[in-house]
Amino acid sequence: MIRWTKDNIDIREDHRIDIYSDRGTHHLEISEVLLADQGLYTIHAENSLGQVTAQCRIEIKENLDKVKRLKVEGLYAYGAR
């Protein structure tokens, strides 16, 4: 049995989080990372021989150089008409 947690809370798959196993390697992938995704991640593995855990702390840092203005065409400023 494999279980993933973030800050001791079970992680569930959703539209951003994918949990899968490939040839005996277990993966947790997060797309569209948010600041709220930072924390302590733990994988818990258990079988008939025992149990083991591994942890890593993830820090999210914003890259303000990557922030771009949204270009919108065809809209008028409020009251411009």
On whether the CB atoms of residues 51 and 2 are closer than 8 A, the answer is no
pLDDT of residue 16: 95
Query: Where do the structural domains in the chain lie, given as residue ranges?
Result: 2-66
pLDDT digits (tens, 9 = 90+) for 23-55: 989 999 999 889 999 999 999 999 999 999 999
pTM for the structure as a whole: 0.74
In this prediction, residue 67 has a pLDDT band, given cuts at 50, 70 and 90, of low
CATH topology (fold) of 2-66: Immunoglobulin-like (2.60.40)
pLDDT of residue 18: 96
